Amino acid sequence: MKYLSIIFQSLKSPWYYWYQGRKLVAICGMGLGMAVTGLFIGLTAGLSLFPLVLALAFDHLLIVFVVLYLILRFSLPAYLPIALADWFMVKQLVLIALPGILITRVCTLGVVTLAERDFDCAD
């Protein structure tokens, strides 16, 4: 469990590296993440671009949106089409976009690890 906590702490958004001044690492991480996530979406959802755009553009906001939906879902009035909203949340956001965020962060971690290793070899 300790190692899992360390791994999740090191999974940072590409935007973190962008604002830290490591723009090449951020761009490479986003590009690799977009390619792998696009392959994942192509295999699971028939290449729907909606979750791919959500996963890349709204990295943190998407997680907050899902949590807020889960909190507010049971206080919604009964006359609203809750089944349709649940279907949209599960199919588009939970099953596709959230794994896309994780894939993008893992790819960015790989790019950072390779960049640091290459930088250390150059010294």
pLDDT-based confidence at 99, cuts 50/70/90? confident
Between CA 46 and CA 93 the distance in angstroms is 15
Between CA 59 and CA 84 the distance in angstroms is 24
pLDDT of 123 reads 43
Q: How many CB atoms lie within 10 A of CB 45?
A: 17
Higher pLDDT pick, 40 / 110:
110
If we measure between CA atoms, which residue out of 33, 43, 26, 45 comes closest to residue 91? 45
Which value, in Å, is the radius of gyration of the alpha carbons in the chain?
Answer: 17
pLDDT-based confidence at 121, cuts 50/70/90? very low
DSSP string, 68-81: HHHHHGGGS-TTS-
Nearby residues of 99 by Cβ (< 8 Å), 6 or more positions away: 40
pLDDT in tens, 60-96: 677 777 788 788 877 777 777 877 777 777 777 777 6
